[in-house]
Amino acid sequence: MDSKSIGIVTFPINKNGVIPLSNLVDITSCLCPKPYLITGSEGYNHFQNDQSLTVYNIAHTDSHSILKRILKYLIIQLQIGKIIITSRHDVSTWIFFIGGSGQIIPLIIAKIVGKKTYLLLAGSEKKGADIVYHHLAFPVKLLINVGYFIVDKIVIYSVSLIRTWDLAMYQGKIFIAHEHYFDLNFFTITAPLADRPPLIGYIGSLGEVKGVQNFIQALPEILSNQPDLRAFVGGDGQLKEAITTALHERGVTTRVDLPGWISHDTLPKYLNQLRLIVLPSYSEGLPNIMLEAMACGTPVLATPVGAIPDIIIDGKTGFIMENNSPECIAKNVIRALSSPDLEQIAENGRRFVEENFTFEKTVENWRRILQDIE
């Protein structure tokens, strides 16, 4: 590798982005001297005292005003660009991660000062723009396309995502890699599936793109079909109050727990309570929670988005539902819980993670990719 450092850029992130970012930091720490990190919000809070990194904070507060959001977006990009300029003698390569494809100004600046640029796509940012930005979706998607054009290499989780995410025109600059790896002594099976209570759940961000509201709408049918079954919805986000209200309106509050944000340290405990975890997302890359659940021997039911179909083979390593409509979720939860092969499917999922998501494999793949650039 180059004797200079590798830098990572993210838009200011929430709690859900900390683990993927932390994984990428660990990987780059094996490949270069002290990595550089430009991030904000929870990303900065997590890494600010890490002496193995050079960390820069990008302050960010959200706004409901469209004009203020655009202005703040531009200011953040200018701040990132300034850091890239000042660190140009120390950093040879910049990896743009969470929210990176829309960072046009920093990408241009990195190219002007002669740096290698990589874009690691954790999800379909175009589809996310449709759901999250609503009326700003078109200009945001235009910026994303410009980012794809400017960057040297695009890194995605699966070959199948080239078609799914409309990346065919950039195929010549695409590499396959991920930042996922797991401590399989930590994410492990502490409660055999047969010994677990009749409990299903969702764990993740409480946001629109995750389809969690659809899961809430499906719960009355699921719970009425199985009188002993309970559910929980773990996580935090903008839909938290709406979910609480929806559970009350549907009369299932007494059978659904809302533990709030679940920390990384307690996640295996929660996963080892579940007989099934439901991931009804509209858009994904390669979700950590899916792999963490599989490592804990918890069967996964998910929508076929992102790289999920490359991991979850229906009836073999988990369950796939056709879409995330409440009716489809309910039907497939009942199907999964009734499967006579549920314990074998859980075992297959654990074995898949053991064979494919070690730290050593992940680092070596990134070493190859970061060397393979003109």
The predicted model scores a pTM of 0.82
Identical fold for domains 5-181+358-371 and 193-356, yes or no, is yes
Instruction: Give me the sheet containing 36-39, strands edge to edge.
Output: 54-57, 36-39, 5-9, 91-96, 116-120, 153-156, 174-176
Identify the architecture of domain 5-181+358-371 in CATH. Answer: 3-Layer(aba) Sandwich (3.40)
Q: What does the domain layout of the chain look like in residue ranges?
A: 5-181+358-371, 193-356
Element (H, E) at 139: helix 137-150
Please name every residue paired with 279 in a beta bridge, in sequence order, or none if there are none.
302
* Percent of the chain with pLDDT strictly greater than 90: 80
Residue 78 · residue 33 · CB < 8 Å: no
Cα separation of 34 and 90, whole Å? Answer: 10
pLDDT of residue 125 exceeding 70, the answer is no
Nearest to 312 by CA among 334, 331, 289, 330: 289
According to DSSP H, which parts of 288-325 are helical?
A: 288-295, 308-311
For tokens 């920390």, the residue is: 263
Residue 84 · residue 113 · CB < 8 Å: yes
Query: Token pair of 231, please?
Result: 């559910």
pLDDT tens-digit map of 203-218: 999 999 999 999 999 9
For tokens 């389809």, the residue is: 211
Instruction: Provide mean pLDDT across the span 220-226.
Output: 94
Residues 6 or more apart whose Cβ sits within 8 Å of residue 52:
29, 34, 35
Cα separation of 301 and 202, whole Å? Answer: 10
Least confident among 116-120, 160-164, 254-258, 341-345: 160-164
pLDDT of residue 1 exceeding 70, the answer is no
Identify the architecture of domain 193-356 in CATH. Answer: 3-Layer(aba) Sandwich (3.40)
Helix or strand or coil: residue 112? helix
Query: In the structure, what pLDDT confidence band is assigned to residue 221 with cuts at 50, 70 and 90?
Result: very high
For tokens 């039911």, the residue is: 301
Cα separation of 207 and 119, whole Å? Answer: 24
pLDDT of residue 268 exceeding 50, the answer is yes
pLDDT tens-digit map of 279-313: 999 988 899 999 999 999 999 999 999 899 999 99
Q: How far apart are the first and last CA of the chain?
A: 14
pLDDT of residue 132 exceeding 90, the answer is no
Cα separation of 206 and 212, whole Å? Answer: 6
Helix or strand or coil: residue 91? strand
